[in-house]
Structure 1
Amino acid sequence: MNLILLHPSDLDHQGHACITDARRLAHLRDIHRAALGDRLTVGVQGGLMGKAQLVELTTELAVFALDPLADVPPPALPVHLVLALPRPRMLARTLEHVTALGVKEITLLHTKRVEKSYWQSPELLPEKIHQHLVLGLEQSRDTQLPSVTLTKGFRPFLEEQLPALLRGRRGLVAHPGMPMACPRGISDNTLLLVGPEGGFIPWEVEKLLDAGCEGMHLGPRILRVETAVTALLSRLF
């Protein structure tokens, strides 16, 4: 936790913040080894960041006295990530990684090679998704939560959502065997589409290219989804 992320409800009108949940308290005690008087980096979800002094710490609560918060969070990446729904454990790590890298718009998509059982995972509960996004923000010192959309049909996505998502964006489909190598250091507003383990099926690739997307590859190695997404974002932006 490189940032103590505060919810607006943690704040009072006297410039103090109080946290009571077990996760943040345990992190303060066991990882930060925080003591009274310590000054830590804090940020308000959806708002600014700055410093705060720890003025009370018990097993049940921590109270901070906030300096005026004036630091803006780091800029977002100019990308909307469309990710074929990975297996649940990989989903959790991937959400944390892409949030830490600055992705603010995420669509989780069903494709042919996505196991239907994945959609029943507790990891897709709103509170679980929120937890992983928060961990990514805390890691990277950011306060702006990404939006996450669940899309369970590929054809409806293709016909109803993709045209609007491509408006004003460059569409890039990451898939092995594409003729173009992944671009480097672009600044375009981008729609990045990443398939599941095993990749998109040929029909899906064909339809995405027909819709105006460009196919690209990361080289001859076949990577796990969480590795591929991190590598793609780092190389693209």
Structure 2
Amino acid sequence: MAQGGVVRVDGDEFWHMTKVLRLSTNDRVELFNGKGGLIQGCIQMIDRTGLDFVALEDPILVLPLTTQWHVFAAFGTLKGGRADWLVEKCTELGAHSVTPLLTDRSPTISENRVDRLQRVIFAASKQCQRLHEMALNPPMKIDHLLPLVAQSKLSFVAIAEATPLVSTLTSSRNESSGLIVVGPEGDFTEKEVNRMMEAGATAVGLGPHRLRVETATIALLATLMLWSDSQPTPNS
């Protein structure tokens, strides 16, 4: 859509803009498509069923982050909104994708929960003004994760009592893509750990305390995002 173009907004987004944000005619608004496209405009007209947004300039394309972290976390059995919190914070911190990991101690995740998590991602993207949508992949078993670990130059697995993450990063070179793997409540089995290590994963510790799945995931992701931002880009 070019400058002067008009977009009709209705449904949930119309309700959110007018009832929650209390926007009205002539208010400035930014629309984005989840693919890096951003366009500035204003509300031209509001009626009972929707509103018309008019573009005040041509759209721009914002490039994605250079380093992309892919999260694989066994959160299928988490209760009380903890899985929602995990996915919401991964969205805010800038993870490129999140994949529910199926393990011996977390073997399933309901289809209804996956649908709900997609809605959580959408809401979090709007709240934090994230221009590139985070992907929520279908649930994956360890067997299918192993080839990805083998292909990735950076794959970190949170393991209790392993070498502290920060110590490991001092000897690691920044790459354009990496994997973050976190096990379920009760941790990975010894066999699962051995298979991931044989595939090339690096075990890292996150301090002296035993962390919940969602806490470990966010601690690992936040540290790696900050580390990636502080490193020179590959091939620079």
> Which range, TM-score by smaller chain?
0.7 to 0.9
2:94 to 102, 107, 114: 102
2:202 to 214, 225, 230: 214
Answering whether residue 35 of structure 2 is matched by residue 43 of structure 1, we say no
2:151 to 163, 167, 188: 167
AA aligned to 1:50 is: I
AA aligned to 2:220 is: L
1:120 to 80, 99, 110: 110
- Give the gaps of 5 or more residues in structure 1: 1-10
Q: Aligned equivalents of 2:220 and 2:75: distance in 1? A: 17
Q: Aligned equivalents of 2:135 and 2:153: distance in 1? A: 18
1:101 touches 1:140 (CA, 8 Å); kept in 2?
no
For each residue in 1:72-103, what CA deviation from the matched residue of structure 2 results, as whole angstroms up to 9, or x when unmatched? 16526421211113326322222222122221
User: Structure 1 residues 196 and 21 mapped into 2: Cα distance closer, same or farther (>3 Å)?
Assistant: same
2:2 touches 2:59 (CA, 8 Å); kept in 1?
no
TM-score w.r.t. length of structure 2: 0.79
For each residue in 1:38-65, what CA deviation from the matched residue of structure 2 results, as whole angstroms up to 9, or x when unmatched? 1022212324113220112234212111
AA aligned to 1:120 is: S
Of stretches 74-83 and 201-210 in structure 1, the one that deviates more from structure 2 is: 74-83
- 1:115 shift after superposition: 5.4
- Give the gaps of 5 or more residues in structure 2: 226-236
Q: Aligned equivalents of 1:33 and 1:73: distance in 2? A: 31
AA aligned to 1:68 is: D
AA aligned to 2:65 is: P
2:32 touches 2:39 (CA, 8 Å); kept in 1?
yes
For each residue in 1:96-138, what CA deviation from the matched residue of structure 2 results, as whole angstroms up to 9, or x when unmatched? 221222212322211122154xx2251123xx34322212321
1:113 touches 1:196 (CA, 8 Å); kept in 2?
yes
Say which SS state the counterpart of residue 156 (structure 2) adopts: strand
Alignment RMSD (CA, Å): 2.6
Match of 2:230 in 1: none
2:72 touches 2:179 (CA, 8 Å); kept in 1?
yes
Q: Aligned equivalents of 1:20 and 1:170: distance in 2? A: 43
Q: How many residues align structurally? A: 218
For each residue in 1:161-220, what CA deviation from the matched residue of structure 2 results, as whole angstroms up to 9, or x when unmatched? 422443242111012111333455973231111111222122211221122111001101
* Percentage of matched positions with identical amino acids: 22
Answering whether residue 170 of structure 2 is matched by residue 178 of structure 1, we say no
Q: Aligned equivalents of 1:97 and 1:180: distance in 2? A: 22
User: Structure 1 residues 210 and 134 mapped into 2: Cα distance closer, same or farther (>3 Å)?
Assistant: same
TM-score w.r.t. length of structure 1: 0.79
Q: Aligned equivalents of 1:36 and 1:49: distance in 2? A: 20
